Amino acid sequence: MSDLSFTAVVPAAGIGSRMAADIPKQYLSLGGRTVLEQTLARLLDHPAIGRIIVATAEQDPWFEQLAIARHPRILRVTGGRERADSVLNALAHVETDWVLVHDAARPCLHRLDLDAVLAAGQQPQGAVLACRVRDTMKRGDGEGAISTSVSRDELWHALTPQCFATVPLRQVLSDALAAGCVITDEASAMEWAGFHPRLVEGRADNIKITRPEDLGLAGFFLQQMNESKI
Ligand SMILES: Nc1ccn([C@@H]2O[C@H](COP(=O)(O)OP(=O)(O)OP(=O)(O)O)[C@@H](O)[C@H]2O)c(=O)n1
Ligand SMILES: C[C@](O)(CO)[C@H](O)COP(=O)(O)O
């Protein structure tokens, strides 16, 4: 697939509160570049991806300092209060029939996983990269004790990229947010509208850098990836 049929949307407007760093986690150093630059490099390399629309915070002073900010395929737009708002703002600038949304905080995306979710996503239901739960899952009682165990059969971690037809996603995300739904990924909005996105099994090292311990892990995964030239 090399027809530039996808636009990538990269939500990068978060503050990284769980990372507890001095700057938003997408601008922390990883493998000699920022997290965001590492993520964008994975997307720029793919022949099916044309433009990349990066949603940053309105007052973000860091993005424009990056050389990649002047890349001809990259457009910066202003994000929103929540991740879903940032994605919706970016979707307003997507002109292709198909779009993939990928977190700025997920730099360890393997090419084969990106190939797979792009191939699976070009159909009405869309597709999300995901990995099966490995641990026994518990639901807490809210007071620090186990309420119950949750069957891990068919329990998945939703990752990104998540791929959909642009027009339906834009409309459904707008409607779901207007209806007051809590939307933490694009698939949630599509499910709310009755769609059943495909699950594309991906690698568990496609981690979302969220907490301090994730940065070192991401550095290790990236080093492994670069050594194996994936
Ligand atoms: N209003 C927001 C909130 C988040 N994001 C982006 O969505 C991705 C996933 O969100 P998350 O990991 O939750 O990032 P933060 O919101 O920055 O983290 P935290 O919840 O710890 O503050 C990140 O790339 C983040 O920059 C965004 O574009 N706009
Ligand atoms: C989109 C996502 O990465 C899929 O797991 C996740 O929902 C983002 O959640 P966050 O709370 O915005 O990090």
Residue 168 has pLDDT above 90, yes or no: yes
Given a cut of 60, is residue 2 above it in pLDDT?
Answer: no
Distance 46 CA to ligand 1 centre (A): 24
Q: 80-104, pLDDT tens digit by residue?
A: 999 999 999 999 999 999 999 999 9
Q: What residues does each domain of the chain span?
A: 6-228
d(CA 224, CA 227) in angstroms, rounded, equals 5
Share of the chain above pLDDT 90, in %: 96
Which pLDDT value is given to residue 4?
A: 73
User: Pick from 170, 156, 207, 137: which is nearest to 7 by CA?
Assistant: 170
| pLDDT number for residue 230 | 58
Ligand 1: residue whose CA is nearest its atom 4 = 14
Question: Which tens digit of pLDDT belongs to each residue from 175-198?
Answer: 999 999 999 999 999 999 999 999
In contact, 119 and 47? CB cutoff 8 Å:
no
Tokens of 113: 């996983």
Ligand in closest contact with the CA of 9: 1
> Is pLDDT of 1 > 70?
no
Both tokens assigned to 44: 């720029």
Q: Which residue's alpha carbon is at the smallest distance from atom 1 of ligand 2?
A: 185
Choose the CATH number for 6-228 among 3.40.50.920, 2.102.10.10, 3.40.366.10, 3.90.550.10. Answer: 3.90.550.10
**What is the number of the ligand 1 atom nearest to the C-alpha of 16?**
17
State the Cα–Cα distance between residues 108 and 14, nearest whole angstrom. 18
Q: Specify the 3-state DSSP secondary structure of 73.
A: coil
Per-residue pLDDT, averaged over 156-184, amounts to: 98
Residue 42 has pLDDT above 80, yes or no: yes
CA of 96 to the centre of ligand 2 (A): 24
**Distance of CA 158 from the midpoint of ligand 2 (Å):** 8
Per-residue confidence (pLDDT) for residue 226, from 0 to 100: 87
Mutate to test the pocket of ligand 2, among 10, 19, 83, 182 (most ligand atoms within 8 A of CB): 83
The per-residue pLDDT of the chain, averaged, comes to: 96
Q: What is the pLDDT averaged over residues 29-55?
A: 97
Q: 228 falls in which pLDDT band (50, 70, 90)? A: confident
Closest C-alpha to 47, from 2, 99, 8: 2
Q: Is the pLDDT of residue 169 over 90?
A: yes
Please give the number of the atom of ligand 1 that sits closest to the Cα of 81: 1
CA of 197 relative to ligand 2 center, distance in Å = 16
The mean pLDDT value for 20-45 works out to 97
Count CA atoms closer than 13 A to 81's CA, side-chain side: 3
DSSP string, 148-209: EEE--TT-EEEEEEEEEEHHHHHHHHHHHHHTT---SSHHHHHHHTT--PEEEE--TT----
Per-residue pLDDT tens over the stretch 47-61: 999 999 999 999 999
- Reported as half-sphere exposure (CB side, CA atoms, 13 A), residue 18 has a value of 9
